[in-house]
Amino acid sequence: MTTLRDAAFAHVISSVSELENIVGEPSELVVTKVGRAVTPAVRAYLDEARFMLLATSDGSGACDVSPRGEAKGAVLHLDDRTIAVVDRPGNRRVDNFRNVLENPHVGLLFVVPGVSHTVRVNGRATLSTSPEILDLLEGSEARPKLALVVEIDEIFAHCPRAFQRSGLWDSEQWVDQDSVPTSRDMTVELKETRQFLSA
């Protein structure tokens, strides 16, 4: 009996030409919208960003993405090609930072609350404990222990379609929080699957 998993892998795309035949090719505007430096408009956006997704991969290519949240002032502009992002205490797994030590290439997606377009930064990251940088990133919380310094390779703005489709900022489309499993509930179940798979 064919399962849905079998069906998913029965017809796969294996080349760029196949992909482009399905999704089409991007317009010239989309292709050329990539910049190499922080412009005044981009800087103003990053200064308002309160949420960021940080994507990394380790030396073997295994990927990770983690959310980062901060009050205003999470990004420090070192020059028009370099930014520093504050790090706040979390669960101490620091998967992303372990990855950076093996592979410096990172992707960052910045989000401003209530705004549907986003800014993406691709670059090379370094973990810094520079006192001068940490002092400037202290903000309203305790002085951070380290910062992520990113040398920018690419930067561009994403259109708002994903947020508009998801209704992320539309309170009428928000789900009842009681219907969503808690972080603790999912952690307990995931721990059980790990024990099952290692048995």
Mean pLDDT value of segment 60-83? 93
Angle at the Cα of 84 (from 83 to 87), degrees rounded to 5?
A: 150
Question: Would you say 155 and 121 are in contact if contact means Cβ atoms under 8 Å apart?
Answer: yes
Lowest-pLDDT range, 34-43, 67-76, 115-124? 67-76
**Number of domains into which the chain is organized:** 1
Name the one residue in this structure whose structure tokens are 């990053």: 46
Name the one residue in this structure whose structure tokens are 């992320």: 168
Closest CA to 120 of 28, 34, 23, 30: 34
Using the predicted structure, report yes or no on whether residue 175 has a pLDDT greater than 70. Answer: yes
Question: Would you say 169 and 160 are in contact if contact means Cβ atoms under 8 Å apart?
Answer: no
For residue 199, what pLDDT is reported?
Answer: 53
pTM (predicted TM-score) = 0.90
For residue 107, what pLDDT is reported?
Answer: 98
Banded model confidence at residue 193, pLDDT cuts 50, 70, 90: confident
As a whole number of angstroms, the distance between CA 13 and CA 107 comes to 24
Question: Would you say 146 and 87 are in contact if contact means Cβ atoms under 8 Å apart?
Answer: yes
Give tens-digit pLDDT for 36-65.
999 999 999 999 999 999 999 999 999 999
Q: Determine phi and psi for 120, rounding to 5 degrees.
A: -110, 135
Angle at the Cα of 38 (from 35 to 44), degrees rounded to 5?
A: 125
Domain with residue 126: its CATH number is: 2.30.110.10
Which residue segment(s) compose the domain that 34 sits in?
4-196
Using the predicted structure, report yes or no on whether residue 195 has a pLDDT greater than 70. Answer: no
For residue 194, what pLDDT is reported?
Answer: 75
Secondary structure (DSSP) of the chain? ---HHHHHTTS---SHHHHHHHH----HHHHHT-BSS--HHHHHHHHH--EEEEEEE-TT--EEEEEEE-SS--EEEEETTEEEEE----SS--HHHHHHHH--EEEEEEE-TT---EEEEEEEEEEE--HHHHHHT-TTSSPPS-EEEEEEEEEEEEPSHHHHHHTTT-GGGPPPGGGSPPHHHHHHHHHHHHHHHH-
For residue 61, what pLDDT is reported?
Answer: 94
